[in-house]
Structures are given as structure tokens and as C-alpha cells.
Structure 1
């Protein structure tokens, strides 16, 4: 993987037919929130440098560098990859994200990174699940809309952003037994208006085989349905198969209202038949942000977005946990008065009892004002 990173840097520095497209994103946010019994103010400054190769369809690369200053200052490289298109195969190496399965928030087919757990914190991002990892993939086209893809993530998915931890995990020597990632294969096929996707991933960290099956199509609205099993590698007890199953589904519909106005509606859900179907209490009652938070049998994500013009939009999102009756909601507005500049305002709040995933005490109501400039 280190060689892949060096090859990527060389792709940007050595003379070639490809050109380099660059962009810089600067953003700042100020948040007023309840902290205990008092109000607290916090600020966050973020920047992103994005370099992408252009002009050569056979060899492409991207390098992203993020920096932010909030409670602490940090750097991260979320993407650094090189892609080579051969006559019959496409190879990708470096740090990036592969989109297996379908789903904006809940996606049983995302066996590489995992898109089943409840989210906590900021719901205003354009992509709520955007983790990346060092990987190697091979893509074999089988037709206009069908292909096979194999992928290996030798180091697994980083626990969080941070350049120092990322490089330490990448450069430290490891034996094969110490690798914490996995490897898998998927196939995507289209028949008429229906897309069928099936795959398998051996998750070394979780010590589980993860076969999955997904369907995606359109009937009045875009819909998707996926299911995955997490089968223990060592001595699986098939009587517990219900504990291994997870199912996700989603609906999305975009209505054009004339001019630049539009309304989009989305509803997604994650179902785990073998998970908890009663409210946790005592030491088991942890917040959604805690790694040991209880896994409830049903989670929902509704969203509505209204574009009033080419420059003004409104948005409402929520994460709901019907089993314990709690949720996290966000209302927001974004205005782009000039090209590249976006001003935003978001209000968020949790609603739930003290033992719930989204208890009121875990995160009080908050108001965030932000500005983003891309050039």
C-alpha cells in the first residue's frame, strides 16, 4: 500500500498527458448547544485540498488532504488512490471507498465498511457514511451494466480520521495473522429495470463470512432491498442463524415542481430479527455514540429535502429507534448567494428517556451556523 501511495504521488508530479484539477474547500461552523444545565459555544474550522487527474481515461488518481481545528487540530488523508484501466480489467489501489450494495444510511450490502449501526452526532453532511480504507480492487466488466469486482482491505477500516494513526497502522510491520481487514467478491447484473447484486466478504476482524444479496429497481419510486448474514468462521451454530441476519430497504422519490424547484423524499430502514426488541436498562443502556450501544431490531431514517430555487434549499432528517422510542432530528437551510459560497443553518435535538439511544440528556438541542467556500 505504501508503494501505491508513492505511485499516486508520482502520477501528480511526473510529466504526463494527464492534467491535474484542483479545488480547495474552506468551511467554518459555530454551534450553540446545551451542555449539562448551561449553554456552550464551540467552533470548528475545516479545510480540504482535492487533487484529481484529468485528461487520461486510462490512468486516474486522486489525493485529498483534510485539516481541521476544533477542540484539537488534526490532519487526515481520506483519499489517495490510483486507478489503471487495462483492455479487460480495471485495477484500483490506495485509500478510497468502494460502494457495495445500495442505501444512503442503511445498507446490508456494505460488507466492506458496515452501514447498519445507528449514527450519532452531525446529520448535516452530504454523505453520512463516507469512511475510506487502504485497499486493492480488480473490476472485470461483463457487459454494459454487469461486472465482477474483487477487493481486499488488508488493514481494515480505520477507527477514525487522523493522519498519524493512519500512517502508524499502515507502516507497522504485521504478519498475515495480524491483518485486521478482509477480502471479498461481488457480482452485479441487470435484467430489464432490475439490478441484482450478490457478494461475499471474509471479515478477518469480526471472524465472520458475510454473504449478501441485493435488489434495486424502480416502481413509482426508486427502491432497494438487501440482506446479509454474518456467519462465524469458527464452528458456526446454525440454530442461531436468525442472530446473523440483517435486512435493509429504502425508498427514494424526486418530484420536479417546475423551474429549479424540487422535492425529494427518502425512507430507509434496518431490520435485525435476532437483535434486541426490548428497551435496554441499567449498564446496558448506552448512547448511540458509545461503541457498546445496544443493537435494536429496527432503525429508521426518514428525510425530506425541498429546493425552493437554484440557491435556496430546506432539509429535514431524522434517525429513529422505534424499539426504545427515541430519535435524533435535524432541520436545516442552505443558501448559495454566490458561486462556490454556501451559508447554512441547522437545528438538531435528541428526544428520548434516560435509557434510550438518543436520550435528551446525551445531547441537548443545538443550533449550528456555517459557511463553506469552494474554489
Structure 2
């Protein structure tokens, strides 16, 4: 399916607001879109069907990169969980999951809060900031460094490499750039992983991973995936939440007066502005989805961003409603086998960041018109590249 309107909507303007395109596609059901060379899956029920059927809809092409040929010597480069299928994925996830239990994460909250407070206090006195550059991108990488137990001196380089990985995955996927960024990550992480393996106790996630029985290559790939997902997507979630509040001062004041409402607001923000807008799957056999025949070998772009605004998923999906009966019933963290392993940590970081911001800054608002905000183009991520915000301290 292709037409000029679809082409225009899928271009740069869609980087700011892809939702009209999603609405059009939801009306059509599962449809092949030539511009993305894939069947677009935009209805919540169809998305759920794909995510549940891991035998029919395979994940190795989840990121949209060309396959890594075995003779390239790079087959153990890249992410560890997101591009694997059961039973291998099940085994890998079981080995890694113990690093992300609530018991493992909870002790880090005071350090996370102290880090966020120091960062926001560092902005005190400034009337206008780029919230992405000055705050959001600095938070998650500092937290990941804390919970992993990697040297703080490495965080700047980790952030640079995370952005490099992201750039290789969006718009025009670049396998060579992805492999090079992963290899640089591996070299940076090697000393910390080696040091963690020699420690008997498990006080950091890195030590837990080192004790899980993973070999050095797989442990590196898993930590790489954590660093990327925990850095870029969490920063995007925080930035999007702040944008929504900057556009609605009354809502911000409501949350300031009643912090207990932050948790449902965060779920609404995740639903409305999913940091991961979509991932790819490949059909392993001839099948059917939502009444549309899908041939074996076809690619499907599973659009979480579209499904989260489906009226079949929740009432009045384009609105923020802090009283939804099932606030967690969204697709921002995926579902089923590939549900985001670090969702508890991501929620903790985002909630704490908003608490600190609302407690410290009396009021904030956008410093530009919403349509001027700069989003990275593409239908797989919702990545704000800058967020100019005016701050009112007293």
C-alpha cells in the first residue's frame, strides 16, 4: 500500500506527531506499507496476538538491522535478549531476571533521589534550559552506572555510545555502525565485568550478572542492552513526561500538591508517548493476522505507539486520565516473553525525577511552540532531541 499522503505522513513531520498516521492505519487494520517494507500492526488486539505467538512471529529482526553473517566474526555482537527467540530467550531471561527483582532495585532509591536532586539544583538560577541535554539524558546513565557498579568516569562515554547505537537503529539502519558501537561498548565494559567477577558478594547488578554463569561475551551483550535501554528509553520517558506537564501547568500543580498521583500520571505518559514506538517481527510461516494474509518471511512493524492510542485498549485514549481502572494496561514495555526486564527500575527513575522536579521548581513551561519541538524521525522510537523549558524558581 502506498500513496502520497502516506509518504508525507511517514516523513519528517511524523517525527513530531505520528498519531494521525497511526489513526489512519488502525482504521485499515493490518496493512503492508511500502515506505517501511513491512506490515504495520497498529491495533491493540493484533499487537497482543503477535507478542503472544512467539513461534509464528520471530524476534531476531526486532531492530530492523540486516542479519549478521556468521563468517563476519560479529555474531556475538549486539543485544542479548531483544533479538532472541524461545527457548534460547527463555534461558537467557531466566539467567538475567534475578538482577532486577524488587529486592535488588529498592536499596538504590536513596542514591537515585540524591543524584537527581544534585542535578536539578545545579540548574538553580537559570531561567531557561534544554531539559533533554541539561537533565534528562544525565539521569538514567548516572543511575545505570550506580546500580551496575561501573566507574562514574565512564558514564560520559557510555552516554555517547548509547546515542551512537540509537543513531544506527533509526531512519536508515546501519549494521556496520551498530557493530562498531557495540564493540566499543564491549571494550569499555570489559574491565568492570572482570572486576565484578572477582567479587564474592552481589551488591551491584553487575556482580549479579557476573555470578549468573554467563560467559564474558554474553554478559557484555546483556549489560550493553541494559545500558542502551536504560539510558536512551528512560531519558525519553522522562522528557516526554516533562513535556506533557510543561504544556499543562494545572496538571503539574495537581501532582505537586498530591504526589500520590504521580504513579498514574507516569503510566498515562508512557501510554501516550511510548519511548519505544515499535519493534519488528518476522513471520516464520504463512499465517493470518486481523483478517490479513501474512506470507512466511514477511516483516511486521508492531507499533506500540499506535496500539496504546487504540480505543479498544482504553476509553478516550488521546486523553490523560489519572483514574483509569487499569493504568498499567498499556504496551509501552511490551507484553509476554519480551516484556521489558528493567521496567521496575525505569518506573522508579521516572517517578523520582518528576518528584524532585516538581518539589524543586515552582513552575515550568515550554519555551517554544509544541510544533517546534525536535523529534528524531522514525516510527520505532519517540526521541526528543531537545526540550527548551522556562523555569520559575520562586
Q: What TM bracket, shorter-length normalisation?
A: under 0.3
Q: Report 1 or 2 for greater relative contact order, CA contacts < 8 Å, sequence distance ≥ 6.
A: 2
Structure number with higher helix proportion: 2
After TM superposition, the score normalised by the length of structure 2 is: 0.22
Q: Greater CA radius of gyration, 1 or 2?
A: 1
TM-score (norm 1): 0.23
